[in-house]
Amino acid sequence: MVLNPPLTAAELATLIGAEAQGQTERLVTGLNEINRVAEGDLVYVDHPKWYDKALNSAATTILIDKAVEPPTGKAIIISQDPCRDYNKLVRRFMPRAGWTNEDVSIGEGSEIHPSAVIGPHVRIGRDCIIHPGVVIYERASIGDRVTIHANAVIGADPFYYKKRPSGYDKMVPGGSVVIEDDVEIGALSTIDRGVSADTRIGHGSKLDNHVQVGHDTLIGAHCLIAAHVGISGAVVIEDHVTLWGQVGVPSKLRIGKGATVLGQSGLINSLEPGKTYFGSPAGEWKQKMREIALLGKLPELFRKLKD
């Protein structure tokens, strides 16, 4: 999410009652979690496993729970609870707008069913069709010639929590959803907003019914995603990818351009472009088919060994 106007690291530290060190007068232009961080951003880190990744990321201000040497040209903000304080900043700079009709833009020729619920600051382009029961949360952006079928939900909160002894603390979302031109979203599909940036569906992509797209996932152009596919958060799916029914994609993987994943496959690694995959764990489909054929011969081989 973008800070407008930007503030210095020192000013943000004051807001949360923390201590800033290093280049404290450097402007912070955005708040982002580690998967989508960019230059000028503040990122938080609260586990030693991720210290190096955060400190060496593109972020120029790091909200951290330990006093460390600030990287050259960067600032650190030392906090007893970075997750809590990051949530404070998100609530301050992007408070929930509630369910109002404030600042909704609907393009010429678009048809919105009366039972659809459109949140504030939503943009809907030209010649769109929004079917009954669709819910579009605040700040979502819908391109031209987009069709969203009945009871789909666009922009629900990300499934993103911090585990504590007392339970799970919700990460306050500061991102949204962008659906580009000529996309079709099937009935009862759900596309979660980003934690701090946007979840994006590229132009010309088609999603079947009952598809789940997790937070901060980027789907490229002209992708085809069949029913019951589940895509976790922070996944990158390049252009012209096909995912057939019931494919499962874990978080933070990348699927290369033009790849095809056959039905009921479960990914465990990123996939190379232009290849076809099958199985759980998924592999190149010809090899997986040979493995399945050989498995069918195991009883016969076992009998021969006994004899």
Q: Are 24 and 8 in contact (CB under 8 A)?
A: yes
The DSSP symbol for 121 reads: T
- 261 to 12, 231, 294: CA distances (angstroms): 45, 13, 22
Close Cβ partners of 302 (under 8 Å, ≥ 6 residues apart): none
Specify whether the CB–CB gap between 64 and 83 falls below 8 A: no
Q: What percent of the chain has pLDDT over 90?
A: 87
Whether the link from the prior residue into 281 is cis, omega within 30° of 0, is yes
Q: Are 239 and 221 in contact (CB under 8 A)?
A: yes
The yes-or-no verdict on residue 298 having pLDDT over 90 is: no
| Active-site amino acid positions | 215
Q: What is the mean pLDDT of residues 224-237?
A: 97
| Average pLDDT of span 261-284 | 95
pLDDT of amino acid 208: 98
CB 240 within 8 A of CB 257: yes
Asked if omega into 299 is within 30° of 0 (cis), the reply is: no
Beta bridge partners of 45: 64
Count of residues for the chain?
307
CA diameter of the chain: 80
Structural domains of the chain ordered from first start = 2-93 (3.40.1390.10), 105-290 (2.160.10.10)
The reported pLDDT for the residue numbered 293 is 83
Q: Looking at this protein, which amino acid is placed at residue 288? A: K
